[in-house]
Every structure is written in C-alpha cells, then in structure tokens.
Amino acid sequence: MTIPLVIGNWKMNMLASEACDLARSLVDRLSAVEGVVIAPPFTSLYPVSQIIKGSSLGLAGQNFHFESKGAYTGEVSLKMLKDVGCGYALIGHSERRQLFGETDETVNKKVHLAMQMGITAVVCVGETGEQRKAGETLSVIETQLSGGLAGLSGESIAHLAIAYEPVWAIGTGLNATPEQAVDIHKFIRKFLFERQGFSEKMGARILYGGSVTPENCAELLREEEINGALVGGASLNFESFYAIIKSSLEP
Ligand code: PEP
C-alpha cells in the first residue's frame, strides 16, 4: 500500500521563529510518522531543517530555478534546497503559474533536474473555474501533464508525486468533492501509465489540494484514488494540520 503523503505548503507565511515553533510541535507529536512533509519559506528552511533532523518529517522547497547557479538575482537553485535538507520540491504550483510566469516548459526543466538530483518532485496541475465551466478540465490537465512530464523515463515515477489542485479550490474554502477529485485522479493515473509509460507496479502518488481542512479531509482521504493532500492554509496551524495528518493515517 502507498503511504499517504501530506504536505504543508506554508507559502509566504511565518517568520523563522514561528516556523521553527510549528516544526517543533510537529516533531514532538509526529516524530515517527512517515509521509509528512513541510514546505516553509526559503528563509526558514535551514532553521527548520535543524529542528526536524533525525525525525521522519520531510522538508520541501516551494520553488527553485532550473539553472544550477549563476546570475539569477533573487532565485534559489535546487542544489541549495538539497544543501539545507530538502528531499522534496513543489513544482508548478498554480500561484507560480499565475503570478510568476511558470510554464509547462519550465516545469519540465525543473522536473528533470529534480530527477537527476534524487529530489521528489511534487508537480501541481489543475484547472481554473472558468476552464471547468467551459468543459476544458481534462484537456487543461492533459496539456499540463504532457508538457510538464515530457521526456521522463518509466522509472522516474518513484521520485514523483502529482498534486491535483483545482485553482478554484485553492484558498477559497470551496474544496472539490471527493467525486470530482476521484474523476480527475483516475484520469491522471491513466495518463501516467498509458501515455507516460510509467510502471503500474511502482504505483503513482496523486495528492489532492485545495481548501483541505480537518472537516473535509476524511471524506477526501478515504478515497483509494487520493494518496494524500497538499495543504495550504490549514497547515499553518498545528491543531488543524495535525488533524489532517491523523486522518490520512486512518485505514
Ligand atoms: C495550496 O496552496 O497548495 C493549497 C491547497 O492551499 P489551500 O489549502 O489554502 O487551499
């Protein structure tokens, strides 16, 4: 059985001391639980890495540049993320796509780099509300997947997770229903195995993200198709994030 993956995306929130406090609470209560990852802002990565050292908590970068070094003022490389202890990196979050010009091409470059460096890439895909209303959901996701995952080999799935995050659900309090999420997860899984040539035996972790809360997580996470959650707002508070993690561990 695939261990569920629950990732807390802290976005541009919390000072380093606050991030460390939250990380400390998580370590205290979850030190031996596999499959929990936190993605603090860059400035908190190193101090948080010192707190979670020796625990089972994983660390993720929220973004990185696809070049390994050079004159890219304001950017951070994947090698730098790895250096401070990241084993995971979010790639193509809709906020990066909408606000910072991330494209399927740059997603693809980043995914290849993550594979080369043994970092688990968490590739985010999802449609806007307008695209859903226009009946374009599947074609949008197909385009994001085929562009973002172009040229990846079958074995690379072991170092990959896909997060289905409908844009209309992110930070809106309006989560996808389990049925809506399952439909898209099935579509993604089929794409990965049939079009991408990934080995079915190795499984594929497909997470759901978009207004996951302690109130709605159980009904989403009990679906076999949903292998975990990417959590934004509710991961900023210990009690709500802990409740979601606990729910992911229930059979
Ligand atoms: C996200 O940013 O990936 C996210 C899912 O945010 P929220 O849980 O706040 O909707």
User: Tell me: the pLDDT tens digits for 212-231?
Assistant: 999 999 999 999 999 999 99
Q: Mean per-residue pLDDT for 33-46?
A: 97
**114 CA from centroid of ligand 1 (Å):** 22
pLDDT beyond 90 at 202: no
Ligand 1 centroid to Cα of residue 62, in Å, is 12
**Is residue 250 packed enough to be buried (19+ CB in 10 Å), middle (13-18) or exposed (0-12)?**
exposed
pLDDT at residue number 194 = 85
Q: What is the pLDDT of residue 151?
A: 92
What confidence category does residue 1 fall into, taking pLDDT thresholds of 50, 70 and 90? low
Q: Among the options 95, 102, 127, 165, which is catalytic?
A: 165
Average pLDDT for 45-60: 97
pLDDT tens for residues 15-26? 999 999 999 999
Q: Is 35 exposed, middle or buried (0-12, 13-18, 19+ CB in 10 A)?
A: buried
* Minimum mean pLDDT range among 50-64, 157-171, 181-195, 196-210: 196-210
Highest CATH level, class, for 5-249: alpha beta
Torsion sign (Cα): 224, 225, 227, 230 = negative
| Helices assigned H by DSSP within 31-170 | 42-52, 78-83, 94-99, 104-116, 129-133, 137-148
What's the CA gap between 241 and 219, in Å, rounded?
A: 16
Q: Is 93 an annotated catalytic residue?
A: yes
Give the domain ranges of the chain. Answer: 5-249
Q: Please calculate the CA angle 106-109-145 and round it to the nearest 5 degrees.
A: 75
Percent of the chain with pLDDT over 70: 98
As to burial, measured by CB atoms within 10 angstroms (0-12 exposed, 13-18 middle, 19+ buried), residue 50 is: exposed
Q: Average pLDDT, stretch 140-158? A: 90
> Which residue among 5, 9, 13, 168 has the greatest number of ligand 1 atoms within 8 angstroms of its CB, and so is best to mutate?
9
Q: What's the mean pLDDT in 34-50?
A: 97
Q: What is the mean pLDDT of residues 78-85?
A: 98
User: What pLDDT is attached to residue 196?
Assistant: 78
Rounded distance between C-alpha atoms, residue 74 and residue 132, angstroms: 34
Q: For residue 127, is pLDDT > 90?
A: yes
Nearest CA to ligand 1 atom 6: 232
Q: What is the pLDDT of residue 154?
A: 76
Q: How confident is the model over 91-105, as pLDDT tens digits?
A: 999 999 999 999 999
- Residue having the nearest C-alpha atom to atom 4 of ligand 1: 232
Q: pLDDT confidence of 56, banded at 50, 70, 90? A: very high
| Ligand 1 atom closest to Cα of residue 172 | 10
Q: What confidence score (pLDDT) does residue 201 get?
A: 67
For residue 146, the CA-to-ligand 1 centroid distance in Å is 23
| Residues paired with residue 245 on neighbouring β-strands, in sequence order | none
Q: How far is the CA of 25 from the centre of ligand 1 (A)?
A: 21
Average pLDDT, the chain: 95
